[in-house]
A and B are shown apart, each in its own frame.
Chain A
Amino acid sequence: MTPARARWGLVLLGIIAAAGLLAPWLAPADPTAIHLEEALLAPSPHHWLGTDQLGRDVASRLLYGARVSLSVGLVAVGLATLVGIAVGAAAGYFGGLVDALLMRAADIMLCFPTLFLILAVVAFIGPMLLNIMAVIGLTSWMGIARLVRAEILSLRTREFVLAARVAGASPCWIIRRHLLPNALAPILVNITFGMAGAILVESGLSFLGIGIQPPTPSWGNMLSEGKATLGVAWWLTVAPGAAIFLVTLGCHLVGEGLHGSEAPPA
């Protein structure tokens, strides 16, 4: 049952990624072109998801918004995974003082209300795309670090590691070639859930007006524009929210599928 879930999730994410990549060819209109005479039109064959307050085509904005959400999700999670693996591997492999220091750092980061920290930092350094990616990534590496550390702790005294060490392999080589591949499955699960989390945080920030700034379309700032027309133009709240929902669902399905099929090593 579970691998089927992962497949559905991958299909969903694949469609959304393709939609984002092909946005310039798929979009029926310019996502930032303002046509005030066409403001707040309901979905129709011409504008199949309607238009917003400024007469911009919602479907086109949605397609371009996929680029923002997916790139923030990918980069933030990539950064978090890199930092998490480095911290976790060093802590687990070297142990002692290195372990104590690194894990204390993770404990400290885990104490902060993450959204408080992200909001404050993004507001201070400016809501640029790269800043948002970096801040989300640097505040979400702790889970992966703990997980990698635990995996490496349980493996590092096994014979195959000892054999590699006797053969003269460097710590870096042992971690990369012998230890990390064994931790791959839980890392992948963490990446998929982390990606959903990063996309939710970005859309939340943009929704609050502290994330991606208009006129660049992002699903979060589209939702916040939809809030202003609540009860007048339902498509402005339904469409971007449904997009966030589908991409999150895709990530969760893949994560669940991997999690379920993650068989214990024979």
Chain B
Amino acid sequence: MTSYLIRRIVALIPVLIGITVISFGVMHLAPGRPTDAATDLNVKVSLEARERLNQLYGLNDPLPVQYGRWVGRLARGDFGASFHDGRPVLAKIAERVPITLGINLCALLLTLAVAVPLGLATAARAGSRLDRGVTTLLLIVFSAPSFWLALLALGFFGVELRWVPVSGLQTLLADRWPLWRQWLDLGRHLILPVTILALGDLVIYTRYLRGNLVEVLQQDYIRTARAHGLPPRRVLYRHALRNALLPFITMLGFALPGLLGGSVILESLFGIPGLGRLFYDGVMGRDYPVIMGLVVLGAVLTLAGNLLADLAYAVADPRIRYNER
């Protein structure tokens, strides 16, 4: 296990270097210099001051030198300061993480709460009318763009019926309310974005689980369990489900890039101040340090997520460990 871990970590190094090279390349696709955005709108910045900024960021140096210096700062955890308010990028990202993460966790729980029973029901009766009906319905839901569903839901439940607020996470001045009302308020703001998010994942998770279950149910150990006379429910829940859920660990490890990307549109639409919104505002305002910070951090976290998922899988599934030796 230790040698496996060491090999995996060593293999990460070239990938990490590649991530920084591509991010750096993207940053230099921008027309003009990054400092232009910080100074263009400000008439008080003289040419001389602009030159000083270029000196400060070393933008007159050759690219490899700039790259080396940038990676050096990243390694020390210095992601630079936002062009907009001068605050450290890392702090700006850190304060948004709980919002995006919280919403996605809620959505994940909701997804699993529906996907597991649905997957079990369809896999246990694979090929039945129920199975075909649910599978077709899921394909239809899967084809509807989430931002369209979100717009329709906002228009109907928010604007037409006025059941839920249309934007943000908090009603104005809600912080003066008693705590229970604040929580209720938060829930009312969250219900649409969380449901829309969950709906998108629901399809993927249900189909994935159904596929795994159908495969697991054909294994010898399931036949053995059945031959022992175990009740079908017990075989399904104790023997099949546990094995069919294993690959989910890998899937969760790979979920991060989609989660971050998906949050851009949904958070902009619902006015939620999370990571996706931070990125969108960064792109619209040409706030290069914020954009690059999120791109690099997103990729590095994905890498870490994959590694963790692989390790968790090796811990959860002995077959992997034996094969590695």
Contact = CB atoms under 8 A, between A and B. Distances in A.
B264 interface: yes
A230 B159 contact: yes
Interface stretch (A60-68, A75-83, A100-108, A166-174): A100-108
B294 interface: yes
A253 B143 CA distance: 9
Contacts of B160: 231
B249 interface: no
B283 A120 contact: yes
Interface in A77-133: 104-105, 107-117, 119-121, 123-125
A116 B302 contact: no
Specify the main secondary structure of chain B where it touches its partner: helix
Contacts, number: 134
B143 A231 contact: no
B70 interface: no
Contacts of A110: 257, 302
A25 to B, nearest CB: 28
Interface residues of B, number: 51
B76 to A, nearest CB: 21
B260 A252 contact: no
B174 interface: no
A208 interface: yes
Contact of A120 (B148, B159, B257, B291): B291
B12 to A, nearest CB: 10
Contacts of B30: 124
Interface in A54-76: none
A256 interface: yes
B244 interface: no
Nearest to B139: A252
A107 B22 CA distance: 12
A245 B143 contact: yes
Interface in B130-157: 132, 139-140, 142-145, 147-148, 151-152, 154-155
Interface stretch (B13-21, B58-66, B86-94): B13-21
Q: Which 10 residue pairs of A and B lie closest in terms of their CB atoms, listed nearest first?
A: A115-B261, A231-B159, A241-B148, A108-B18, A249-B143, A113-B260, A113-B257, A111-B299, A248-B143, A124-B30
Interface of A: 1, 104-105, 107-117, 119-121, 123-125, 196, 200, 203-204, 207-210, 223, 226-227, 230-231, 234, 237-238, 241, 244-245, 248-249, 252-253, 256
Interface of B: 14-15, 18-19, 22, 26, 29-31, 132, 139-140, 142-145, 147-148, 151-152, 154-155, 158-160, 166, 256-262, 264-265, 268-269, 279-280, 283-284, 286, 291, 294-295, 298-300, 302-303, 306
